[in-house]
Amino acid sequence: MTTRTDRILDGLFTWVGRLIVGIGALFMAVPALFIAMLSFSNDQHIAFPPKTWGVNRYVDLFTSDTWAAPIGLSLRLAAVTAVVALLLVLPAIIGLKRSNLRGGGFIEGASVAPMLFPVAAYAVGLYAVFAEVGLLASFQGIVISHVIHAVPMVVIILSTAMDQIRPELELAAMTMGASRGRAWLGVTLRLLTPAVAGAAIFAFVSSFDEAVFITFLGGPGLVTLPKLIFDSVQFGVDPAITAVATVLMIVTSALLFFATRLRKDVR
């Protein structure tokens, strides 16, 4: 039975729990808010607290040429990555889920596993392979690495979505007179569409954000936006980064928020 001491200790236990959650939530929010705040400082150098306020950093960002080329490269990479990842995964998942093929689970597992491999080790492996076939420092090489990086998430999203679309729906459409193709297009693929869009966004963002493969495999010539930020933070800080980071944060959040919603739609 509960005693008085138990009651006090239980109260303490509850409050410690709440404190942990509170600190956790705060810890999650602070960095984002902090960067957004600093981006509206007009000081020459980054300092806290800012002495003058304004939008100079955003003006810098949109007028200087430093950023245009890396942003362009990152956008192209991300778009190609998203398309290739989908072309690779979508037919595979549909095939595996609808054919009860033996080994389907194994293929799915093998394509998700890279998510858990240490990125650095895997980057060295790719480095060796690319050196062999001359893909180092090439756009195609980076696309390949980004696709493999995106595949696990795309597989997870599409496979969970497919699991939620019951095969009876297609059968029901067929008993009511729809041809196999029509049942597939009008029911299964239609229901899968939000997940496909969500997966495409996830793949896009994962490539747009990627900084490790580009460092190991990109050579000096290919500078993506994350690489540029990475380098400039390492070797002296351009204050405009706060503005870039804020814009990036907002766009990525919006995209990923949208993608998460799309994913939920299927359920």
Partner 1 sequence: MTQVTATSHGADKTGGAQDSVTLRVRDLRKSFGGNEVLRGIDLDVRTGEFLTLLGPSGSGKTTLLRIIAGFESHTSGEMLLRGRDIAGLSPSERGLGMVFQQYALFPHMTVADNVAYGLRMRGWDRGKIGKRVSEMLEIVGLPHLSGRKPRQLSGGQQQRVAFARALAYAPQLLLMDEPLGALDRSLRLQLEEEIKRVHRQMGTTVIYVTHDQEEALVLSDRIAIMEEGRFAGLDTPTALYQRPPSTFVAKFFANANLIPATASADGSIECRGSAFSTQTDLRGPVSLAVRPRSLRLEPVTNGLRLSGAVVETLLLGDDRQVKFDVPGVGPMVALVDARQQSELEPGAAVTLHAPAEEITVLEA
Partner 2 sequence: MAAPLVLAILFLVIYPLFKLVYDSLTQGDGPGNYVEAFKSSAIRKAILMTLAQSAAVTVLSVTLGSSLAWTLRRATRRSVTAVLWAAVLLPFWMGLVVKNYAFALLLAREGAVNHFLQKLGLIDQPVQLLYTAFAVVLGMTYTMIPYAVLAAYPTMTMVDVELLNAAQGMGASKRKTFSTVLMPLIRPGIVASTAIVFAISIGFYVTPVLLGGAQTPFIATVISDDIFTFFNYPRAAASSVILLVIAISVLGLAMKAVGLKAIRGGLG
User: Pick from partner 1, partner 2, none: which does 100 bind, CB < 5 to 8 A by kind?
Assistant: none
**CB count, 10 Å around CB of 39?**
24
Contacts of 132 (CB under 8 A, 6+ apart): none
Contacts of 262 (CB under 8 A, 6+ apart): 194, 195, 197, 198, 201
Q: How far apart are CA 162 and CA 21, in angstroms?
A: 34
The answer to whether residue 102 forms part of the interface with partner 1 (CB under 8 A) is: no
The answer to whether residue 245 forms part of the interface with partner 2 (CB under 8 A) is: yes
The answer to whether residue 234 forms part of the interface with partner 2 (CB under 8 A) is: yes
Q: Which of residues 90-109 bind partner 2 (CB under 8 A)?
A: 91-92, 94-96, 101, 104, 107, 109
Kindly indicate which of the ranges 13-21, 54-62, 162-170, 190-198 contains the residues binding partner 2, using the contact rule CB under 8 A. 13-21
The answer to whether residue 112 forms part of the interface with partner 2 (CB under 8 A) is: yes
Q: Which of residues 198-217 bind partner 2 (CB under 8 A)?
A: 208-212, 215-216
User: CB-based burial of residue 63 (10 Å sphere; 0-12 exposed, 13-18 middle, 19+ buried)?
Assistant: exposed
Q: Which of residues 174-193 bind partner 2 (CB under 8 A)?
A: none
Cis peptide before 49 (omega within 30 of 0): yes
The answer to whether residue 189 forms part of the interface with partner 1 (CB under 8 A) is: no
Site string for partner 1, 154-173 (x = CB under 8 A): ------------x-xx-xxx
The answer to whether residue 261 forms part of the interface with partner 1 (CB under 8 A) is: no
Closer residue to partner 1 (CB): 7 or 180: 180
Closer residue to partner 1 (CB): 4 or 267: 267
Angle at 86 between CA 81 and CA 90, to 5 degrees: 165
- In Å, how far from its chain's centre is CA 97? 24
Phi–psi pair at 266, nearest 5 degrees: -70, -30
Which three-class secondary structure state does DSSP give residue 139? helix
CB of 30 to partner 2, least distance (A): 7
Binding residues for partner 1 (CB under 8 A): 166, 168-169, 171-180, 182-183, 187, 190-191
